[in-house]
Structure 1
Amino acid sequence: MPKVALDMSVSLDGFASGPDDDLSRIHAWIGEADAQEAVDEFLAAGAVLAGRRTFDKGQESWGDDPPFPMPVFVLTHEKREPLTKGASTFTFVSDGIEEALRQARAAAGDEDVVVMGGTSIARQYLSAGLVDELRLHLVPTLLGLGIPLFSPVGGPSAEWRRTKVVEADGVTHLWFEAIR
């Protein structure tokens, strides 16, 4: 059965990005050969959910050929026409997290839907109890400041069972499933 997976990098002190939205230390592992398993699992998703800030920030580094072979649904407060850049199609959803998830599931078919961030939508999906799996990429750095991944989540508390660990240089990939 397809899952909704939250897939994000996090520092040892719990930050998903550093000061001024700096992602350089948090995402330094991406592209390393020993990180391929985690990257392949992300790329196997049938659809991706992203927040507007993540989309806006990504435009700087993605350029004209974003790295998404699957549809991306961007949560936003503004209505906007879909955007295609390279092989990537971005659909902007302004009707809330449930509607974005409904559209993403329809597009994904039998594949997983991945919530890739940012922290605001991560917290919203966690708070609503809509995340089945956590895929955390624990980076051995202390950022000291930045945007925390989990605080405050709000909503019901949740228990998670670790299902897989992959150790690599510069990152430890952790998979957890929700205990329901």
Structure 2
Amino acid sequence: MARVIYNTASTLNGFLADEQDSLSWLFAVGGGEAPDTEAFLRGMGAIVMGSTTYEWILRQERILEQRGRWQELGYMASLPAFVFTTRSLPAPEGADVRFVRGAVADALPEVVRAAGEKDVWVMGGGDLAGQFLDARALDEVQVSVAPVTLPGGRPLLPRRVESDTLELRSAERFGQFVHLTYGVRRAAGG
């Protein structure tokens, strides 16, 4: 069965994006090294994201302005993308983007079915990852922590999560980043 993995980058004090939903802080970090993104993507069968993340990708990559741009995103563009939203949003021509309304638990069977034998990447945001955690559907948290702090913004995981829920599996240095991998422990009976 597919695992559900939340993989993202965060500031040292736990923010994914600043108050304007910008990731400029992330792209300013030097160091050049990174976890093997291509190997990670090869293991994914579907992507899930919230509407803020989706709209950021559309803007950042100028998807709607350039015909065929979504397909140029590489391996990620070949995967079905599930966007959790309460609003009507545009879909790029030729992209397998599926808009989802409602609870994560209700959408999970379709997401897992779309992933096939591969895993599901919860790309963002933090609240959506928290919803997967609340639904007992999150299997792993991977976060690359940057040497940056922000006074506020979008939190990594806006939930209270105790140490009995997450188990550190690995910590690796990649240039200026520390990549942490945590397994999510299920409560008894879960």
| Structural RMSD (CA) | 2.6
Bigger Rg, which one: 2
Aligned residues: 176
Cα distance in 2 for partners of 1:172, 1:148 equals 18
Of 133, 138, 160, the match for 2:140: 133
The change in CA–CA distance for 1:94 and 1:156 in structure 2 (over 3 A counts) is farther
The change in CA–CA distance for 1:163 and 1:61 in structure 2 (over 3 A counts) is same
Q: Alignment partner of 1:54: what SS?
A: helix
Q: CA deviation at 1:28?
A: 4.8
Q: Give yes or no for contact 1:11–1:140 (8 Å, CA) kept in 2.
A: yes
Q: Please list every run of at least 4 consecutive aligned residues from structure 1 whose deviation after the TM superposition is greater than 4 angstroms.
A: 27-30, 154-158
- Quote the residue 2:52 is aligned against: 53
* Superposed CA offset, 1:119-159 (max 9, x none): 221221122221100011111111122122223x1588852
Q: CA deviation at 1:20?
A: 1.0
Q: Alignment partner of 1:20: what SS?
A: coil
The sequence identity of aligned pairs, in percent, is 27
Q: Give yes or no for contact 1:19–1:146 (8 Å, CA) kept in 2.
A: yes
Structure 1, unpaired ranges of 5+:
none
Q: Give yes or no for contact 1:129–1:156 (8 Å, CA) kept in 2.
A: no
Q: Give yes or no for contact 2:127–2:157 (8 Å, CA) kept in 1.
A: no
Superposition TM-score, scaled by structure 2 size: 0.80
- Quote the residue 2:66 is aligned against: none
1:134-153 to 2 correspondences below 5 Å: 134-151=141-158, 153=159
Structure 2, unpaired ranges of 5+:
64-68
Cα distance in 1 for partners of 2:133, 2:38 equals 22
- Quote the residue 2:85 is aligned against: 76
Q: CA deviation at 1:85?
A: 4.2
